[in-house]
Amino acid sequence: MRPRTILAILLLAGALAGFGFAVTTPRSAPAAAPAPREDLKVTDAPKPSQAELKQKLTPMQYHVTQEAGTEPPFRNEFWNEHREGVYVDVVSGKPLFSSKDKFDSGCGWPSFTKPLEGQDVVEKRDITLGMVRTEVRSRAVDSHLGHVFEDGPADRGGLRYCINSAALRFVPVTDLEKEGLGSFLPLFGKAAAAAKEELATLAGGCFWGMEDLLRKQPGVLGTEVGYTGGTVANATYEHHEGHAEAVQIRFDPSKTTYEALLQFYFRMHDPTTLNRQGNDTGSSYRSAIFFHSEAQRQAAEKVKAAVDASGKWKRPLVTEITAAGPWWRAEDYHQDYLIKHPGGYTCHWVRD
């Protein structure tokens, strides 16, 4: 065998061992290596198409995240990064790991003792290369991140999350607030800025379509669907008589206004059909604004009157304006429904 061939084999063996390929015993913690499941691909936002990802990512980032590739050890961006901050998913931007949990494992890749938020990282059984390992993927967009092994620091849980730099983007502490990650500042001994957030509660037909359109509006921080406006306690989809299917919208008042949300609301559903929206009939599908303050009540009356007078709708508006009451969160399968089921049922669209 030629000397160059022998040298190449030795270098490759060393690299594979560093990333854990030489480990023959899989992680033994409970549920650490579950069989692959399709439901692990639940997302908080639509995953970009492959064409979009090839535009957004570098060739190495695409190879690692989309093709389960591995970057070279010691020749990647974050293996020797020592600044404080948060590592986010390079595809979705979801926070995954903290510098507080990073340690020098000597393997040549970023190593962490645990994820920053367990719900954003999933583990899957990996039997490629003739071995059994535990793969680590991002829950949000199902990107390959790396693998987890049981040779980490014993005093910190004993795990080593060996992650490709190409799967990550680093946000230093000084940029956390600017990037919407200010809630992590206390991890680094810094006070988080006071939250700027208000709540709006709107009903106007099936909450699947309502939520899907409202979530995309500027300034919207988050949405949740549920039942409100009735008297049944602990309402469920099967038992919510008197309640309306509604959406709660958390929004940043420095980026949008309650009135702007209401103006959009009157464009995305038909406010002239009593207890009906599209093919859905019954009081569950009524048009209603549930105000949380006197200022919201006044804004709702003002916007409704302006829309009614504009002539945009040929019939009178039947939208009720009433004080917000108890809120009952809808079942998980209703949350983000049209993200989980693209092309699913909706009777909502934006009118000119």
| Together in a domain, 206 and 172 | no
Tell me the pLDDT band of 180, cut-offs 50, 70 and 90. Answer: confident
Q: What is the pLDDT of residues 204-252, one digit of tens each?
A: 999 999 999 999 999 999 999 999 999 999 999 999 999 999 999 999 9
Q: What is the pLDDT of residue 30?
A: 34
Report the distance separating Cα 262 and Cα 246, nearest Å: 14
In a domain, 4, yes or no: no
Instruction: Give the Cα separation of 287 and 245 in Å (integer).
Output: 10
The pair phi, psi for residue 74, each rounded to 5°, is 65, 0
Residue 129 falls inside a structural domain = yes
End of a domain among 188, 221, 248?
188
User: Active-site residue among 86, 136, 141, 162?
Assistant: 162
- pLDDT tens-digit profile of 187-199? 999 987 666 789 9
Other Cβ atoms closer than 10 A to 286: 23
How many percent of the chain have pLDDT more than 70?
Answer: 86
* pLDDT value, residue 68: 95
Average pLDDT score over residue span 345-350: 94
Determine whether 347 is an active site residue.
no
Judge contact between 229 and 325, C-beta under 8 A.
yes
Is 181 in the same domain as 211? no
What is the tally of structural domains in the chain? Answer: 2
37 and 184 in a single domain? The answer is: yes
User: Is 258 in the same domain as 116?
Assistant: no
Question: pTM for this structure?
Answer: 0.51
- Cα torsion angle, 31, 335, 52, 109, sign: negative
- How much is the average pLDDT of 291-298? 94
Which of 25-29, 49-53, 105-109, 250-254 is predicted least confidently?
A: 25-29
Give residue 209's domain range: 198-340
CA distance 307 to 68: 52
CATH of the domain at 323: 3.30.1060.10
Q: Any bridge partners for residue 268, and if so which?
A: none
Q: What is the CATH number of the domain that holds 88?
A: 2.170.150.20
Q: Which of 88, 206, 338, 347 is catalytic?
A: 206
In terms of domains, do 276 and 330 share one?
Answer: yes
> What mean pLDDT is reported for the chain?
87
> Is 162 a known active-site residue?
yes
Mean pLDDT check: name the lowest of 187-201, 247-261, 300-314, 315-329: 187-201
Q: Is position 303 within any domain?
A: yes
65: pLDDT confidence band, cut at 50, 70 and 90?
very high
